Structure 1
Amino acid sequence: MTSQQKAYLYGLSAVLAWSTVATAFKISLTHLSPAQLVLYASAFSLLSLLSILAVQGRLASLLPALRQHWQRSLLLGAVNPFCYYLILFQAYDLLPAQEAQALNYTWALTMTLLAIPILKQKLRQQDAIAALVCYAGVLVIATRGQPFAMEFSNLGGVGYALASTILWAGYWLFNTKDEREPVLGLTLNFLFALPLALLWCAMHGELTAVSWQGVAGAAYVGALEMGFTFVLWLSAMKLTDSTARIANLIFLSPMVSLFLIYLLLGEQVLPSTLFGLALILGGLLLQKIPVKRKAPALS
């Protein structure tokens, strides 16, 4: 296989894995609280990442990286996975899976908007239009097709879903200045996030016995969504000769995810979800369209 073919294979594998997580979140949350799911999933993700480093023969690099970058690792670990997934799981706990996963796709646009104050980037007219289109989609989904009535299906759940996009986008923006090797960095994040999740559960009386179904769901979420899939995606991005081609594969995920939600959770996919998701994806695609620069006038 050529490097590009391998990149497509890894990229598609990652996208297919991510397509299952909305269903996995919802099933796991029938057996665990959001905080418990963060705790157990973080533990399994850390095990997954440590296993990857062991296979790569890089476990010995972990301690020197910890000594050098413990402050950054603590800060980023508190944001992702701890705070991000705690808020995201709250959204999934309150909303139907189809609505939570659709709203979560606005993180890419949120990142563009946050880059204006954080990275001092300019807001293009194209980005402003894309934002209006995307958030019109959010309004359609949140009101279940009645945006002018402004009656939200679950305002708290929508708030959690949108707040999670801010945390996720902010995490990746600050990650642009991260000097740590990506897999090592993610492992260190989980190393610090795990005791935070343990402390949170202890403070809220959630260190209780859980069912094996909950543990199994957390193992799937932690190892796949939070751990191994990240390495697949990172490998795809390294092997490809066109980052845009691989990045565009993510647009396959929403429809596969909705099919699984219908098939495995039995949720009837609402027309408002489909229309709102179409607006969100349309806005994200609009943002990607290259703008032709005007040729300089000849003197």
Structure 2
Amino acid sequence: MNHSKGNILGLITILLWSSLALFTVFSGNIPPFLLLSISFSVASFIGFFVLKKQKKSFKELLKISPKVYLIGIVGLFGYHFFYFLAIKNAPAIEANLINYLWPLLIVLFSAFLPNEKLKWFHILGTILAFIGAFLLVLKDGSLEFDTKYILGYSFALVAAFLWSSYSVVSKTLTHVPTFAVTGFCILTAILSLVSHLIFETSYLPNSLELFSAIMLGLGPVGGAFYLWDYALKNGDIKLLGSLSYLAPLLSTLLLVLVGISEMTIIIALACSFIILGSLISSKQYLKMIKKVLFKS
């Protein structure tokens, strides 16, 4: 039961991540680290409700080991920190393409986990989905890796490595309750604010920008991390890694739906690759569903 619930919550997480681009666009001119600080502050409040629902006090967060906190901070803050550095030090197209290696890395790294076996359809499905993500990032632009941006490319690779590593390591922390993410969010909000004060100019958001920042905290940059934590610990990490490529696809389609972007042949082709890859990766689950339907 928990296995199926974990996969479902993982899919919901991916759906939440698909709203990232939309709310980021509406967040306007809010500097990245200030945006993170606001979003993770909202995420922290979600954590307090999680604690209350589970009848736990704030003191429970103090019982979480420093090692677990280090893993959480590296995953949540470290990923975003290096991603923003990548965007500032390299063209967005190339930086995003390298960043989208993280779902593929999750699938590959999962092979090192106990009782996890990597099969051919996991690899093939994830590679096809990555090709789709490549087409999405490229769109009508050109791809040209220039050695002068090597630092930015390196930052993007570090970001992909940190998030995939965090996700895979989280799979092994089944003894750590999901409400521990509350502590991760609080510390990430603080570190993001410090980064804003050091690297960025002070900025006062308008009402639409602030609303968008709050929505990011309720969804893709905040609330989604609680769901992702449960999904990783209880679901099929290889399947979730491959399905993660649905996030940039759905994100793009959402922008098309609201008129911010236009549907093109490239986007349609990318859609085909990602859906095909996701179906192949889900091969064993599709067989299970077929058996259930056939029996009924």
With normalisation by structure 1, the TM-score equals: 0.68
**Alignment partner of 1:32 is 2:30:** yes
Q: Which of 259, 262, 266 is the matching residue for 2:260?
A: 266
Match of 1:70 in 2: 66
Instruction: Flag the 1:104–1:275 CA change in 2: closer, same or farther, 3 A.
Output: farther
Instruction: Flag the 1:284–1:10 CA change in 2: closer, same or farther, 3 A.
Output: closer
- How far off is 1:189 after superposition? 0.7
Cα distance in 1 between the residues matched to 2:231 and 2:115: 29
AA in 1 matched with 2:52: A
AA in 1 matched with 2:68: R
Instruction: Flag the 1:49–1:160 CA change in 2: closer, same or farther, 3 A.
Output: same
**Alignment partner of 1:224 is 2:219:** yes
Match of 1:80 in 2: 75
Instruction: Flag the 1:123–1:201 CA change in 2: closer, same or farther, 3 A.
Output: same
Cα distance in 2 between the residues matched to 1:177 and 1:8: 16
Unaligned runs of 5+ in 2: 288-296
Identity rate, percent: 21
Cα distance in 2 between the residues matched to 1:129 and 1:249: 13
Contact 1:20 1:257 in 2 (8 A): yes
AA in 1 matched with 2:196: C
After superposition, the C-alpha distances for 1:153-212 in whole angstroms (9 at most, x for unaligned) are xx8998877654433221111112223101x21101112212211221122144443333
Q: 5 Å matches for 1:147-162?
A: 150-151=143-144
Match of 1:51 in 2: 49
Instruction: Flag the 1:234–1:110 CA change in 2: closer, same or farther, 3 A.
Output: closer
When the two chains are superposed, the root-mean-square deviation of aligned CA atoms in Å is 4.6
Match of 1:194 in 2: 189
Q: Which of 154, 158, 163 is the matching residue for 1:168?
A: 163
Contact 1:77 1:192 in 2 (8 A): no
Contact 1:19 1:253 in 2 (8 A): yes
After superposition, the C-alpha distances for 1:119-174 in whole angstroms (9 at most, x for unaligned) are 6966544444345433433443344368xx8547xx89988776544332211111
With normalisation by structure 2, the TM-score equals: 0.69
Match of 2:109 in 1: 114
After superposition, the C-alpha distances for 1:237-286 in whole angstroms (9 at most, x for unaligned) are 99x9x979x96997876665334212335211332233124323322332
Instruction: Flag the 1:119–1:277 CA change in 2: closer, same or farther, 3 A.
Output: farther
Match of 1:296 in 2: none
Instruction: Flag the 1:139–1:48 CA change in 2: closer, same or farther, 3 A.
Output: closer
Contact 1:79 1:167 in 2 (8 A): yes
Contact 2:9 2:228 in 1 (8 A): yes
Cα distance in 2 between the residues matched to 1:284 and 1:162: 23
After superposition, the C-alpha distances for 1:80-138 in whole angstroms (9 at most, x for unaligned) are 32122345567789758xx96x9877643320112345769665444443454334334
Cα distance in 1 between the residues matched to 2:189 and 2:205: 17
Match of 1:134 in 2: 129
After superposition, the C-alpha distances for 1:58-96 in whole angstroms (9 at most, x for unaligned) are 2x1x324424423321x1232232122345567789758
Bigger CA radius of gyration: 1
Contact 1:39 1:198 in 2 (8 A): yes
